[in-house]
């Protein structure tokens, strides 16, 4: 168990190092940092001086070491567009993205489980078929089209919800939250649905398939024979057993939700990290791109690591073969 955890941990560090090399290569070689600082009429001597003061003359390995140590302290350099430290830009926008991602995941889980259970229990009803159709659309349509459709319906035609921004935000220390104001709640509804729709269809299909499978097993038949109520069988016995894979999928998908918020944030002009990243790509702001890559990788790697380790805690069968190999 310890050997497995350690091995898995080392692997995660290896992945982060590899991503770090890519981020450094982008930072250092794609776009000359000096050109971003100086103006056109700076002399060659001055350029060389700036180059030297930035440490760009040092061996590449030394530079990588410096970048690495800075990154560990969350120093990612200065943004080319904003002339501000990248880390403070990211920190300022982190709450917006996290709130959106958490709301989207909660929406996906609640709606997905409800729809999945319903379409497994009442397989041939019209509503169940409608859910299937919605799930096909949720998987096929690009996120931004769904966002535009929602905006057209609820913001342009009906005028119920705002089409952009976060509404009023309240400062709690360094964290800014939109979840304490009415306008904040109104503003998050459409982005959260847009972002969570794909995960919702995923969870719905998963719950439906698992429920259908579980309902065929012997212990359910036995529970029926014991005369338990249908409600107790469906929700106490069957649903409970489908929840482990659902939570796993929802957890593993959280990283994707954060990455896909790039698109949702652009559609709804949501002031989060994703929007910052898209603007960085448009304006070739390499320090922000490199830092965003590092942050998202860290989130992905951490989630995968935690899920893998939790699995071995929950299921001892997974331990033995790997343990022996190590």
Partner 1 sequence: MSDAVVPHRSEDHHAPTGWFKRALDSDIFYSFRRSRLTMVAAAITLTFFLLAIFASWLAVQNPFDPAQLQLINSRIAPLWTADGQSPFLLGTDEQGRDVLSAILYGLRISLAVGIAGVVFAGALGIALGLIAGYFGGVVDSVIMRIADVQLTFPAILIALLVNGVAKSLLGNRLDEMSTLGVLIIAIGLSFWVQYARTVRGSVMVEKNKDYVAAAQLIGLPAPKIMLRHVLPNTMGPILVIATINLALAIITEATLSFLGAGMPDTMPSLGTLIRIGNNYLFAGEWWIVAFPGIALAGLILSINLLGDWLRDALNPKLR
- Contact residues for partner 1 (CB under 8 A)? 15, 18-19, 26, 30-31, 136, 139-145, 148-149, 151-152, 156, 163, 255-256, 259-260, 262-263, 266-267, 277-278, 280-284, 286, 289, 293, 296-297, 300-301, 304
Residue 177 sits at φ, ψ, to 5 deg, of -120, 145
Q: How far is the CB of 26 from partner 1 (least distance, A)?
A: 6
Of 116 and 255, which CB lies nearer to partner 1 in the complex structure?
A: 255
Buried b (16+ CB within 10 A) or exposed e, 108-144: bbebbbebbbbbbbeeeeeebeebbeebeebeeeebe
CA 153, 125, 247, 295 dihedral sign is negative
CA–CA dist 69, 12 (Å, integer) = 18
Of 81 and 241, which CB lies nearer to partner 1 in the complex structure?
A: 81
Of 109 and 294, which CB lies nearer to partner 1 in the complex structure?
A: 294
Q: How far is the CB of 267 from partner 1 (least distance, A)?
A: 8
Residue in this structure with the two tokens 């982190």, named with its chain if needed: 94
Q: How far is the CB of 30 from partner 1 (least distance, A)?
A: 4
- Residues linked to residue 175 through DSSP beta bridges, in sequence order: 172
Using CA atoms, how far residue 129 sits from 33, 116, 144, 295, in Å, is 56, 11, 25, 40
Query: What is the DSSP secondary-structure string of 50-107?
Result: HHHHTTTTS-HHHHHHHHHHHHHTT---B-TTT-SBHHHHHHHHHHHHHHHHHHHHHH
Of 152 and 175, which CB lies nearer to partner 1 in the complex structure?
A: 152
Of 26 and 220, which CB lies nearer to partner 1 in the complex structure?
A: 26
Of 107 and 300, which CB lies nearer to partner 1 in the complex structure?
A: 300
CA–CA dist 100, 161 (Å, integer) = 16
Of 250 and 301, which CB lies nearer to partner 1 in the complex structure?
A: 301
169 is written with which tokens?
């935000």
Q: How far is the CB of 48 from partner 1 (least distance, A)?
A: 22
CA–CA dist 207, 199 (Å, integer) = 12
């Amino acid at each position: 168990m310890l050997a497995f955890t350690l091995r898995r941990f080392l692997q995660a560090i290896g992945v982060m190092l590899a991503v770090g090399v890519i981020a450094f290569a982008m930072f250092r070689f794609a776009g000359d940092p000096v050109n971003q600082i100086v103006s056109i009429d700076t002399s060659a001597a001055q350029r060389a001086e700036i180059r030297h003061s930035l440490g760009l003359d040092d061996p590449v390995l030394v530079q990588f070491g410096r970048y690495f140590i800075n990154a560990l302290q969350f120093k990612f350099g200065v943004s080319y567009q904003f002339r501000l430290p990248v880390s403070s830009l990211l920190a300022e926008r982190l709450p917006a993205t996290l709130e959106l991602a958490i709301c989207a995941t909660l929406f996906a889980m609640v709606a997905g489980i409800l729809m999945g259970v319903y379409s497994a229990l009442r397989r041939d009803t019209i509503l169940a078929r409608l859910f299937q159709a919605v799930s096909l659309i949720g998987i096929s349509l690009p996120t931004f089209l769904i966002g535009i459709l929602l905006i057209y319906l609820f913001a342009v035609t009906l005028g119920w919800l705002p089409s952009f921004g976060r509404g009023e935000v309240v400062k709690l220390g360094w964290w800014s939250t939109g979840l304490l104001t009415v306008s904040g709640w109104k503003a998050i509804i459409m982005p959260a649905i847009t972002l969570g729709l794909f995960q919702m269809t995923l969870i719905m299909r998963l719950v439906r398939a698992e429920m259908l499978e579980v309902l065929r097993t012997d212990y359910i038949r036995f529970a029926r024979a014991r005369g338990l109520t249908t409600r107790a069988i469906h929700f106490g016995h069957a649903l409970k057993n489908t929840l482990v894979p659902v939570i796993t999928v929802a957890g593993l998908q959280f990283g994707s939700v954060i990455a896909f918020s790039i698109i949702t944030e652009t559609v709804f002009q949501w002031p989060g990290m994703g929007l910052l990243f898209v603007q960085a790509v448009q304006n070739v702001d390499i320090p922000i791109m490199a830092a965003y890559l590092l942050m998202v990788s860290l989130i992905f790697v951490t989630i995968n690591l935690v899920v893998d380790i939790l699995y071995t805690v929950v299921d001892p069968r997974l331990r033995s073969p790997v343990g022996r190999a190590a």
